Amino acid sequence: MVNPFFKNYGPLKLKDIYKVLKIKKKDDSKDIKIFDIADLNSATSNDITFLHSNKYKPQASSTKAAACITSKNFQDNLPDKCKKIIVENVLISTAKVTEILYPHSVNDDFDNSVKEISKTKFKNKVKFGKNVLIGKNVKIGSNCLIGHNSIIETNVSIGDNCTIGSNVIIRNSLIKNNVHILDGCIIGKKGFGFFPDKKANFRYPQIGVVIIEDNVEIGCSSTIDRGSLSNTVIGKNTFLDNQIHIAHNVKIGENCIIAGQVGFAGSSVIGNNVMIGGQAGISGHLKIGNNVQIGGGSGVIKDIPDNTKVMGYPAKNLKNFLRENK
C-alpha cells in the first residue's frame, strides 16, 4: 500500500463500484473483490486502476489490475483479463472510488490531537523552541532540533540529526536522516487535486505521503504536497532553495540543485543530478532526464532527455535559445 497512514476500508465488490458510479450492468464478475486502488504500474490482481490518457498506454498493456476505470477510447489498450469499467469522466469516477476506499483522505482537518512537546515523550529527547506542538503517531530520531511555533501533526516519522525550522507544519511524511527543513515550510498537506464538473469542482483524495531521503535541505517557505495515488519523493542529497512548490506525485532524483521559486506541477519525474534555475516552471506528467540543466525563468512543457541543457519559454536547447536571442 502506498500510504501507511490512511485506513483502507476495502475490500469492495465490483457491484459496489458500479453502484457508486451509477452503472447499471448485468455482469458475472460483479462479485469480484477489490482491495485497493493504484496506478497502472503498481496495481496488483486485487486492485482497481484507471486509464485516461494516451501518455499511459504503454503501462496499460501490462497492468496486473483486476479492473480499470477508463473510457471507450482506451479499453482496447488493456489486457483481456482486466475488467473494463467504462465511464464518461475517468478522473472524477476514479476519485469517487478512491473516496469510498479512503474516506478520511479528502480533507485535512485541523489536528486537535496535538500537544505541547513538553508534555510528550520527546521533551527530553529533542531540542525545541517555544510553542512546539506534536500530534499522534509521530516518531523523532536522535539529535533533532525543532524551531519556534512549529507543528509536527499526525503521521510523521523524522530520522536522526534533522533540523526543523520555525513556523513549519509537517504531516503525512517520512523524513529520513540529516534532513534540514528551513523556516516556514509546509510539508505533507493535500495536493491541489481538483477535477472540474458541470456543477462544481470535485476534489481528488490524496492517499500518498511525502518521502524525503537522506541529506536533503529544503529552503524557507517551500511547500511539498503529499501524493495522490503514489508518493511525492525528494531524493538523497538534493538541495531546494526558498519558495519552491512541489505538487503531488512529483519525484525528484538524487543530487539535484533547484533554485528559488521553481514550481513543479503534479506527477512529473525529475532525474538525478539535475540543476534548475530560479523561477522555472515544470508542467505536469513530464519526464526530465539525468544530468539536465534548465535555465532560470524557463517553461518546460515537454520531456527532456538525459544530458540536455535548455532555456526559454517554451524551453528549448540552450544553443538554439542563445542563437535566437543574441
Residues designated catalytic: 248
User: In 3D, which of 263, 172, 269, 164 has the Cα closest to residue 218?
Assistant: 164
- Separation of alpha carbons 253 and 86, rounded Å: 36
Amino acid at 217: E
Place of cell 495536493: 191
Q: Is 153 helix (H, G, I), strand (E, B) or coil?
A: coil
Q: Which three cell numbers stand for residue 312?
A: 526559454
- Separation of alpha carbons 213 and 227, rounded Å: 15
Q: Other C-beta atoms within 10 Å of 326: how many? A: 4
Place of cell 475488467: 83
Q: Is 313 helix (H, G, I), strand (E, B) or coil?
A: coil
The per-residue DSSP string of 236-303 comes to: TT-EE-SS-EE-TT-EE-SS-EE-TT-EE-TT-EE-SS-EE-TT-EE-TT-EE-TT-EE-TT-EE-S-
Beta carbons of 20 and 96 less than 8 angstroms apart: yes
Place of cell 490524496: 206
User: What burial class does residue 200 get, using C-beta atoms within 10 Å of its C-beta: 0-12 exposed, 13-18 middle, 19+ buried?
Assistant: exposed
How does DSSP classify residue 112?
A: T
Q: Residue 57, Cα to own-chain centre: how many angstroms?
A: 21
Q: Which three cell numbers stand for residue 244?
A: 519552491
